[in-house]
């Protein structure tokens, strides 16, 4: 598996054995190779599986880059790309973020727990702050640093106080399948948007847990049928104006990137979600990253693994940009080592198996009634004779 992260001047592509960093000065790119060396405990516990989730994040001020593969948490300083720390996490990570002040790294794992790791004290072990009873799929810390929001496989979104997460502010309930991704609208930071395996985008006043709007991606006239809801796997957003945010959605097994205009004048005012653009790709996207006006897409195509788009305000849409061509050419040199995209995405396994016991119960009940009826008939016949 692979991961993509972009920041102010950096583009980072992470694979199981290394992360490739491309730093731009506006004219050309400088390359850095960050090697991933697994801990002894990781190697002894189980084989490294190429389908493992790779979680990466750049700090908000682009001073640090972190990567978590299996149970190894790496932290690099971007100034000189020196490895600051390598720490062990208890379970395989499913999502990772920096806090808004870049003081801690929050790691969500597959057992449903969240741990905080200090940036300033790189040798300090992780501190447990909250837990779900189901696998966590995404998390975020609100820009005001007051809440940490987590979502899980059991359709739940939990809003907890930060860092004292034992105080639960609210729950945002309404999704009918696992909740895969979360995002705060930059033009109105009181609104949370979530994506799910039920094919819907839902907008929330997360402080009180109130749903403001539900938008089904099947309304976009896509190739998905009503019996095959698209899985929304990634959400990214940017501020367009004081009343509008641009929301970019990536769907599993769908070659279009969906771009929405989200308009809201006030938290209790009318909220609209309008599909403005479909970015058609020649292969399925694996990951997306949005930084300022620049959208970068990692695709499941080794020959053309990256596409870049820049937001054109005159056209109010993203237009193709060839700025990543040098990066693509450089990545091609290493494709023999990387085993890129040699495993299918495993997200569909998050669907719960549902058993229909009613039909079996009714069948057994009918058989019992028929058996009892026959016994009653036989008894009546024997008594008459």
Query: Cα–Cα distance between 5 and 57 in angstroms, integer?
Result: 6
Task: Please choose, from the candidates 87, 147, 143, the residue with its C-alpha nearest in 3D space to the C-alpha of residue 118.
Answer: 87
Backbone φ and ψ for 73, nearest 5 degrees, come out as -110, 115
pLDDT tens digits, 180-192? 999 999 999 999 9
When pLDDT is averaged across residues 27-49 and rounded to a whole number, the result is 64
Q: Contact at 8 Å (CB) between 215 and 190? A: no
Among 11-20, 99-108, 214-223, which is the least confidently predicted range?
A: 214-223
The CA–CA distances, whole Å, from 252 to 40, 78, 195 equal 35, 32, 12
| Residue 7 tokens, joined | 């920041």
Query: Cα–Cα distance between 16 and 157 in angstroms, integer?
Result: 30
| Residue 70 tokens, joined | 């299996």
The confidence score (pLDDT) of residue 330 equals 79
Determine what percent of the chain is predicted with pLDDT higher than 90: 57
The confidence score (pLDDT) of residue 211 equals 97
Q: Please enumerate in sequence order all residues whose Cβ is within 8 A of that of 164, keeping only pairs 6 or more positions apart, or say none.
A: none
Task: Please choose, from the candidates 191, 193, 155, the residue with its C-alpha nearest in 3D space to the C-alpha of residue 174.
Answer: 155
- Top pLDDT among 44 and 300 is at 300
Does domain 1-18+51-131 sit in CATH 2.120.10.30? Answer: yes
The winner for highest mean pLDDT among 43-52, 65-74, 200-209, 212-221 is 200-209
When pLDDT is averaged across residues 24-52 and rounded to a whole number, the result is 63
Strand ranges for 132-178 from DSSP E: 136-141, 147-152, 156-161, 168-173
Q: What residue spans define the domains of the chain?
A: 1-18+51-131
User: Per-residue pLDDT for 175 more than 90?
Assistant: yes
Alpha helices in the chain (DSSP H): 40-45, 325-332, 335-338, 358-384
When pLDDT is averaged across residues 117-138 and rounded to a whole number, the result is 95
């Amino acid at each position: 598996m692979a991961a993509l992260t972009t920041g102010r001047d950096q583009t980072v592509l992470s694979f199981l054995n290394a992360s490739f960093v491309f730093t731009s000065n506006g004219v050309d790119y400088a390359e850095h190779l960050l090697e991933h060396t697994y801990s002894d405990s990781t190697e002894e516990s189980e084989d490294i599986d190429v389908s493992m989730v790779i979680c990466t994040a750049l700090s908000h001020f682009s001073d640090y880059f972190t990567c978590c593969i299996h149970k190894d948490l790496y932290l690099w300083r971007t100034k000189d790309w020196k490895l600051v720390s390598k720490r062990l996490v208890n379970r395989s990570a499913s999502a990772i973020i920096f806090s808004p002040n870049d003081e801690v790294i929050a790691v969500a794992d597959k057992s449903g727990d969240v741990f905080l790791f200090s940036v300033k004290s790189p040798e300090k072990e992780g501190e447990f702050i909250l837990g779900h009873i189901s696998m966590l799929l995404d998390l975020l810390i609100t820009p005001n640093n007051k809440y940490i929001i987590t979502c899980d496989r059991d359709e739940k979104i939990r809003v907890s106080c930060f860092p004292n997460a034992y105080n639960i502010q609210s729950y945002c309930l309404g999704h009918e399948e696992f909740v895969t991704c979360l995002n705060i609208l930059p033009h109105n930071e009181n609104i949370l948007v979530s994506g799910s395996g039920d094919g819907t985008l839902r907008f929330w006043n997360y402080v009180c847990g109130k749903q403001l709007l539900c938008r089904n991606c099947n309304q976009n006239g896509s190739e998905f049928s009503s019996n095959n809801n698209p899985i929304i796997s990634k959400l990214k957003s940017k501020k367009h104006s004081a009343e509008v945010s641009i929301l970019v959605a990536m769907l599993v097994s769908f070659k279009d990137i969906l771009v929405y205009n989200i308009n809201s004048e006030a938290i209790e005012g009318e909220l609209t979600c309008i599909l403005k653009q479909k970015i058609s790709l020649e292969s399925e996207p694996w990951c997306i990253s949005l930084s300022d006006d620049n959208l970068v897409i990692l695709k499941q195509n080794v020959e053309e693994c990256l596409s870049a788009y820049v937001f054109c305000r005159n056209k109010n849409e993203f237009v193709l940009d060839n700025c990543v061509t040098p990066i693509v050419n450089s990545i091609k040199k290493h494709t023999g080592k990387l085993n890129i995209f040699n495993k299918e995405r495993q997200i569909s396994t998050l669907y719960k198996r549902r058993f229909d016991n009613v039909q079996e119960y009714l069948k057994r009940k009918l058989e019992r009634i028929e058996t009892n009826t026959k016994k009653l008939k036989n008894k009546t016949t024997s008594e008459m004779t």
